[in-house]
Structure 1
Amino acid sequence: MIFELKRDSHIPLYAQIATQVRSMIATGTLKVGDRLPPNRELAKTLGVNRTTVTTAYGELEADGLIRSHVGRGTFISAVPAASPSTVKKERVQLSPMLWNALLADQKRDSWLNAMMHSIRSKDTISLAYGLPQADLFPLEDFRRCVDRVLRREGRELLQLGMSSGYEPLQEYLASQMALSGITVKPDEVLITNGCQQSLDLIRRIFVGSNDEIAIENPTYPGAISVFCGNNAKYSSVPVGDSGIDLSALEEILSQRRPKLIYTIPSFHNPTGVTMDIAARRRLLELALKYRVPIVEDDIYGELRYDGPSLPSLKALDEYGLVIYINSFSKVGFPGLRVGWIAAPRIVVDYLNAAKQKCDLHASLLTQAAIYEFSRHGLLAKHIKRVKRAYAQRRDAMLEAMEKHFPDEAIWNRPEGGMAVWVKLPQSLNAGEILLQSIENGVLFSPGDHFYSNLPQYNVMRLSFTMASPVLIEEGIKRLGAIIKRRLLSLRKQRAIGRAEERRALV
């Protein structure tokens, strides 16, 4: 790589380095998988301070263009752009504004955004996202529901409304939760813009600057971004085959007294495990003993394919300990951004006040439309349809993994949810495998992104909802071949190393 640094320019040196690396990636000079020089080495070559290179690399990593692996180096991670012949060459205008210094310290984990661009390719098989497949959306049914609510109350729905939500939807959700054993009144339900906002609102009213929470490890990355960013205090609780480790949790509760416990008890993201009834009761006992509220994320609860249904923590809760969050995103349409929180009235009042400061209220039109869709039985019909499809796709993935994955790989059989959690031999790095699989047209989620602490790099989450059984078979076949080749290469390297050691002894 050749850099041209203008030391008399008003543009900082780190910005010049970052801009020139971006240009090399855009023109194809640097390609996905290429290794960048170590910070110290590049700093010496350019005659700059090591901090300058570190800052430049930080900018590039924040943009999702590079990725650093401890002990391995820094690699280009962006999806290859168009070939150099089709790239329009134009002068990159450097900004004199030091935005990085002005912005608040926020961790930007853009790996999913980078892969979202890849998914648009027709040749890409996506096993990366826990999302519904758009081909299964009943568009005509939903369009008719939108038309009906617009004709019936369009003027009201396009006007400013109540922060707590669309009242008929609150009443509907309270009645539906009652069917599953959850007793709440409509005014104990707050409509939000999805579970992500629900988590953010909960953090705002519960977690102060010196407070901490107990969070599962691994867990949903969106929860990590809310509860574990910006110098937040948190305790990571391991997740085992039966869900959150209750012994580890009790030790944390007795010593640190966190303000909240965050858990996904049903079809946990990313591991897919489900807490049994005894574990659920024990978790509630611990919450009562130490007087720590539980945030129950039940977003996958409806997506059960095998086994008996289990009551939610909220349904088992006799003392008002559980703050329950859910959404239409997994069972319905994630683009609508309609979720809800069910909690004691005093908590909902505080959440409502926090929501007013954020966005006043969720879209009334989308709330009314999903209510109309649900009250006519169309949501229940849609859920039955997608559950049949997803169960078939899960089984197709498990069968393909049995056929194509190496014996050293370990995975579970989730009874529901949207993904399978895979553990590879310790010598493999899922992030490095991802770089190769992208080149082979397959996407998945490396497991280290799901950890708030002590990440494991030999795990991966494979989602089965967004690809057909045929594509799942092909994707797993390609991925299995990559893993096997990598294992074979490592075995050969170890054999060569042992041979060299024997020669040295002779």
Structure 2
Amino acid sequence: MFCQRHRFQHDLRIFKRQAAGQHDGDGGQGLFFLGEELTDDRRDAAQIARTGHEGPYLDGFEAAVLPQQPAHGFARLGREQSFIKERRGAENQAAGLAHDGGGGILRQQECLGFLVWFLLFRPGQAHQQGRQSQVTGQTHTGFSVSAYAGGPMWYDRAQMVLLPQVDHGSGEPLYRQLYEHFRDAIASGKIVAGERLPATRELAGTIGLNRNTISAAYAQLEAEGFIVTHTGRGTFVTPRAAAPHQKLDWNAFLGQHTERRPSAVPVRISFAHSRPAEELFPLQAFAESCEEVLRGEDVSAILQLGSPGGYEPLRQLLLEQTRLEGAAGASDGVMISSGCQQALDLVRRVLVRPGDRVILEDPIYPGVRNLLAESKAELVGVPFNQDGLDLHAFERALLRGARLVVLTPNFQNPTGLTMSLEARQHVIRLAREAGAVLVENDSYGRLRYQGEGVPTLKQLDPFGDVILLRSFSKMSFPGLRVGWISAPLPLIEALIDAKQRTDLHSDQFSQAVMLAFVEAGRMLEHQRTVIEAGRRRLAAALAACREHLPEECEFTEPEGGMNLWITLPEPLDAGELLPRAQREGVGYLPGSFFGVTADHRRSLRLSFAAVDTADITRGVALLGKVFRGELAERRWGQREPSPALV
């Protein structure tokens, strides 16, 4: 009797499930049934002889479900003998045979084995334990071990696979009914990931269908990824197939992909955005430009797909203007981009590879830093302070080897500072000697409110290798997203190819409107308005900083642009103080968002261009109140307690 267990296959199969209280064929209570298939050939006979059990599946089951149980042999014997009884009873009933005299003794042994197993390892005990699935990572109550983990699949009554009901009178093919039954059960979670489906022969015999019908249904399920079949082990529900009934956890799916942003708290006065003032937009002039484009003869062509290099009439105008100011030569070309941000994105797609060293100003606009970090480049931050770019640090960084240098020489974001002419000449010479490509972001260059202008790096480069990025966005209508790149023609061609792969081309209607706006002289008129408003607002910001900020604060004094950089005294942290400022109705961006290698925790960017002068004064005064109050609290807390006077 004991050696018969070596005639069974590795894994256990579900044979039948009965409703509660229903009697089995032998008159028992029918708590549940476990089916096993006899094998014709024991290919692992050597392992059985060596280990004394059926193989790794059952051994893994014992280790996972019945650890350190001295009576596990009785449990296994009870399960096997219980099925022997069921199988023999069915066979004898069909053949009209009766058990011999020794059958009573065997039945007593079988009942004894089953009783021992049931008392020690009944499903209720396993149900209370609750085991961690080795497939899905989810805890499933019930007597179950994942077959993917190398063990057989055991079920209590609540976890038996639902048997399908088929309608032979329906016009729908039987295999299709079976397929839909299991598909819906998997999608709804009634059959969970890792659960094993009945074998085709077994299911065919249970529900009275041809085995080929079952195989056809399983084949369709497997083709659609709901199940997977492992030869010699069985058919199992795939982990991904059981998930549609659950909402996707997007946070877990994305991981750390999303960028860190400051909390969006509504405030009365916001210095957080470096953008032009909406109230200065010349809407009537813009509407006239739109009407001119819509009435033009080529409006249909403008609304059609265009060139990835941009709207040709606008490209020609920008190239001519760039050449007139000495920022482009005969070997240079121009292409249109969706603002300077996409221009830089195209440059890094073409020029930067993982592991390349790229030199950036520190602090820097986070959009630049994040783009290059996405390319898995090694970012090297060079300090950009009151004296401009730290040239000694820049030279040391170049000596380490750098493929690309990205600089904003005019009214740098976030500091608002401008590089001197001498510094620019020095940068061009060092970069050329090191073989590094210079990228010049000149988004703010036209926003000079006072002082003399300084030639761009592109104008100063005798070889014309500098890549110049510009945009209309800081002057007018940033929502149109019209920028451009001036660079040597071979690079322009490569950038156009990258542009086509990215978004085909920028919006042609916006380009045509900007062309009409410029050609009609409206841009020049609007530029004068913006410069005058910027001059007043910068003056208001600087005056408010001098009057309201703590004396220990330092701040830059730019001659144009949209931003100035404030550094608080120790031990203040601009990021920690932001919630207090927001409660006062004022917002800003902490310096920690602009760091490359330094943290700049004591600094903040104050963007003044989109705030009127009255709000600038009021907002800076509120910030000064917050900073002074925090500074006083910190200093008071650091004072030594005075001894009592006696």
TM-score range, shorter chain: 0.7 to 0.9
Q: Distance in 2 between matches of 1:369 and 1:422?
A: 38
Is 1:202 the counterpart of 2:353? The answer is no
Q: Which amino acid aligns with 2:463?
A: Y
2:271 alignment partner, one of 120, 127, 131:
127
Question: Once the two structures are superposed, what CA deviation does each residue of 1:437-483 show, in whole Å capped at 9, x if it has no partner?
Answer: 11111111111101122211110111111111111111111111011
Counting only pairs closer than 5 Å after superposition, residues 208-219 of structure 1 correspond to structure 2 as: 208-219=353-364
Tell me by how many angstroms 1:193 deviates. Answer: 0.3
| 2:507 match | 363
Q: Distance in 1 between matches of 2:559 and 2:357?
A: 32
| Secondary structure at the counterpart of residue 622 of structure 2 | helix
| 2:399 match | 254
| 2:222 match | none
| Secondary structure at the counterpart of residue 267 of structure 1 | coil
| 2:54 match | none
| 2:420 match | 276
Paired-residue identity, %: 38
Does structure 1 retain, via aligned residues, the 8 Å contact 2:333–2:487?
yes
| Secondary structure at the counterpart of residue 422 of structure 1 | strand
Does structure 2 retain, via aligned residues, the 8 Å contact 1:217–1:450?
yes
Q: Which amino acid aligns with 1:491?
A: R
Tell me by how many angstroms 1:109 deviates. Answer: 2.1
Q: Distance in 2 between matches of 1:372 and 1:416?
A: 27
| 2:334 match | 189
Does structure 2 retain, via aligned residues, the 8 Å contact 1:149–1:369?
yes
Q: Distance in 2 between matches of 1:476 and 1:252?
A: 37
Does structure 2 retain, via aligned residues, the 8 Å contact 1:393–1:469?
yes
2:254 alignment partner, one of 72, 84, 103:
103
Does structure 1 retain, via aligned residues, the 8 Å contact 2:132–2:138?
no
Question: Once the two structures are superposed, what CA deviation does each residue of 1:27-49 show, in whole Å capped at 9, x if it has no partner?
Answer: xxxxxxxxxxxxxxxxxxxxxxx
Is 1:166 the counterpart of 2:314? The answer is no
2:641 alignment partner, one of 486, 499, 504:
499
Counting only pairs closer than 5 Å after superposition, residues 375-390 of structure 1 correspond to structure 2 as: 375-390=519-534
Tell me by how many angstroms 1:101 deviates. Answer: 4.4
Q: Distance in 2 between matches of 1:147 and 1:182?
A: 33
Does structure 2 retain, via aligned residues, the 8 Å contact 1:405–1:483?
yes
Tell me by how many angstroms 1:97 deviates. Answer: 2.2
Q: Distance in 2 between matches of 1:408 and 1:372?
A: 50
Q: Classify 1:101/1:184 alpha carbon distance in 2 versus 1 (closer, same or farther; 3 Å).
A: farther
Q: Distance in 2 between matches of 1:463 and 1:185?
A: 38
Is 1:325 the counterpart of 2:472? The answer is no
Q: Distance in 1 between matches of 2:479 and 2:395?
A: 38
Give the TM-score of the pair, scaled to structure 1.
0.77
Q: Distance in 1 between matches of 2:339 and 2:331?
A: 18
| 2:286 match | 142
Give the TM-score of the pair, scaled to structure 2.
0.60
Q: Distance in 2 between matches of 1:186 and 1:386?
A: 33
Q: Distance in 1 between matches of 2:362 and 2:246?
A: 40
| 1:464 match | 608
Tell me by how many angstroms 1:8 deviates. Answer: 9.8
Q: Distance in 2 between matches of 1:11 and 1:95?
A: 15
Q: Distance in 2 between matches of 1:283 and 1:180?
A: 21
Counting only pairs closer than 5 Å after superposition, residues 35-50 of structure 1 correspond to structure 2 as: none
Q: Which amino acid aligns with 1:354?
A: A
| Secondary structure at the counterpart of residue 385 of structure 1 | helix
Tell me by how many angstroms 1:140 deviates. Answer: 0.7
Runs of 4+ aligned structure 1 residues displaced above 6 Å come to 7-13
1:397 alignment partner, one of 536, 541, 562:
541
Q: Distance in 2 between matches of 1:102 and 1:230?
A: 21
Q: Distance in 1 between matches of 2:396 and 2:318?
A: 36
Q: Distance in 2 between matches of 1:466 and 1:433?
A: 22
Does structure 2 retain, via aligned residues, the 8 Å contact 1:411–1:421?
yes
Tell me by how many angstroms 1:185 deviates. Answer: 5.6
RMSD: 2.3
Does structure 1 retain, via aligned residues, the 8 Å contact 2:415–2:564?
yes
Does structure 1 retain, via aligned residues, the 8 Å contact 2:353–2:375?
no
| 1:419 match | 563
Q: Classify 1:185/1:161 alpha carbon distance in 2 versus 1 (closer, same or farther; 3 Å).
A: farther
Tell me by how many angstroms 1:190 deviates. Answer: 1.0
Does structure 2 retain, via aligned residues, the 8 Å contact 1:174–1:186?
no
| Secondary structure at the counterpart of residue 433 of structure 1 | helix
Does structure 1 retain, via aligned residues, the 8 Å contact 2:550–2:628?
yes
| Secondary structure at the counterpart of residue 228 of structure 1 | helix
Does structure 2 retain, via aligned residues, the 8 Å contact 1:170–1:191?
yes
Tell me by how many angstroms 1:104 deviates. Answer: 7.1
2:551 alignment partner, one of 407, 411, 426:
407
Q: Which has the higher contact order (CA 8 A, sep 6+)?
A: 1
| 2:598 match | 454
Is 1:349 the counterpart of 2:500? The answer is no
Tell me by how many angstroms 1:381 deviates. Answer: 1.0
Tell me by how many angstroms 1:285 deviates. Answer: 0.3
Q: Which amino acid aligns with 1:183?
A: A
Q: Distance in 2 between matches of 1:379 and 1:184?
A: 25
Q: Distance in 2 between matches of 1:104 and 1:403?
A: 45
Unaligned runs of 5+ in 1: 1-6, 14-93
Q: Which amino acid aligns with 2:627?
A: I
The structure having more radius of gyration, on CA atoms, is 2
| 1:440 match | 584
